[in-house]
Structure 1
Amino acid sequence: MQQSEAMSGEMAEMLIKHQKEFLSNATECKMKVGATDEDVLIFMSRKKLPDTKTGDCFIACMMEKMDLIQNGKYLEDATQMMAHKILGPGDMVAELIGDVSKACAKTITADDDSCKAAKKIAECSMLHVKKFKEVTKKM
């Protein structure tokens, strides 16, 4: 087996593991915050965000499960570390994710509860998706 094939297999295993963990977290968060099926489906579509309080709290719960929010505080550095863990150290997209997380952290105010803060982070991140797409097209 060539080295690239081994790396592809390892990457596939890691992605499957993260996907299973993500789905498990989604199920747990749905029950914890009382999110509706529609809230979860909208979030999972990655095209838009839920527009309900339970949907916002679902986003917050998911971010907490991914260790991106702790005690209601957004951990912007954790976002970049997670991206490097999944995509690899020095990955260009992981670097962009870090830049976006720092920019989006500035959208949160002291008055925001964790649900509102998570929604703001998610909205800001979605606005930057175009930037990710442009970079990945060049790869």
Structure 2
Amino acid sequence: MKLKGAQVLQILLCFQPFTVSTRTYGTSGTLVDFTDPKVQGHLDALVRMAQSCVIKVRATPKDVRAYFTNSSPVSRSGQCFAACMLEQSDVINHGKVNRELLIHLASLVNGKSSRVVRKLTSISRLCLDSIEGLSDRCQLASTYNDCLNENMIEFAFPLDLAEEAVRKMPFHLIQANLPQEIRSLQY
């Protein structure tokens, strides 16, 4: 299932998923009002997308925490979690990065002329070099995501909100005694 509007915040790597309190966060001159219904809708959909990816790739709390704190994955399932998130958003499709969609999604929340979008426009192009020659879908997505994170560090998401997202993940559904129909969803 594609959640085309939901991935905006995940794509930016600076606004990751969850329902939050009435706080407004500012990063490097960019204010994001997480109580705004438009932003909250994207956040809620992003959480659902992440929950689906946790089940599909059997991601661990460490995998999800790394993703939502803009850290490199610590395992293969962490790499595949990044791939799942970027593929569900259509930013990566059949091993190809859709920079135009990435930038468009960022502009929906931040505005077309925002600092986030201006920097993402140049960094996303630079990060294409980091994945040249990679064919493994999980490694490709993870490497691209890592490049974006490393180069957009000033827009990183607050740790407490990332932890809140991790707490909402359905890790209990990936235990060894899962029914076959759920296990078959794995990558």
Structure 1 segments unaligned to the other structure (5+ residues): 1-7, 134-139
Task: Report the residue type matching 2:38 in the other structure.
Answer: M
Task: Report the residue type matching 1:20 in the other structure.
Answer: D
Q: Percent identity?
A: 26
Q: Which fold has the larger relative contact order, with Cα–Cα distance below 8 Å and residues 6 or more apart in sequence?
A: 2
SS at match of 1:106: helix
Alpha-carbon contact 1:107-1:120 (below 8 Å) kept: yes
| TM-score, normalised via structure 1 length | 0.79
Q: CA, structure 1 residues 34+130, in 2 after alignment: closer, same or farther (shift >3 Å)?
A: closer
Query: Which structure 2 residues correspond to residues 80-91 of structure 1 after superposition, within 5 A?
Result: 80-91=103-114
Aligned CA RMSD, in angstroms, stands at 2.3
Cα deviation digits, residues 66-99 of structure 1 (max 9, x gap): 2211112111221111111111122232121111
Separation (CA, whole Å) in 2 of partners of 1:58 and 1:95: 27
> What's 1:136 paired with?
none
Alpha-carbon contact 1:96-1:132 (below 8 Å) kept: no
Structure 2 segments unaligned to the other structure (5+ residues): 1-31, 157-187
Task: Report the residue type matching 2:56 in the other structure.
Answer: K
Separation (CA, whole Å) in 1 of partners of 2:39 and 2:63: 24
| TM-score, normalised via structure 2 length | 0.60
Equivalent position to 1:16, from 35, 40, 52: 40
Alpha-carbon contact 1:73-1:114 (below 8 Å) kept: no
> What's 1:62 paired with?
85
Separation (CA, whole Å) in 1 of partners of 2:126 and 2:134: 18
Separation (CA, whole Å) in 1 of partners of 2:149 and 2:133: 22
Query: Which structure 2 residues correspond to residues 75-114 of structure 1 after superposition, within 5 A?
Result: 75-114=98-137
Q: CA, structure 1 residues 45+131, in 2 after alignment: closer, same or farther (shift >3 Å)?
A: closer
Separation (CA, whole Å) in 2 of partners of 1:42 and 1:110: 25
Shift of 1:130: 4.0
Q: Does 1:115 align with 2:138?
A: yes
Task: Report the residue type matching 1:36 in the other structure.
Answer: T
Residues paired across the two proteins, number: 125
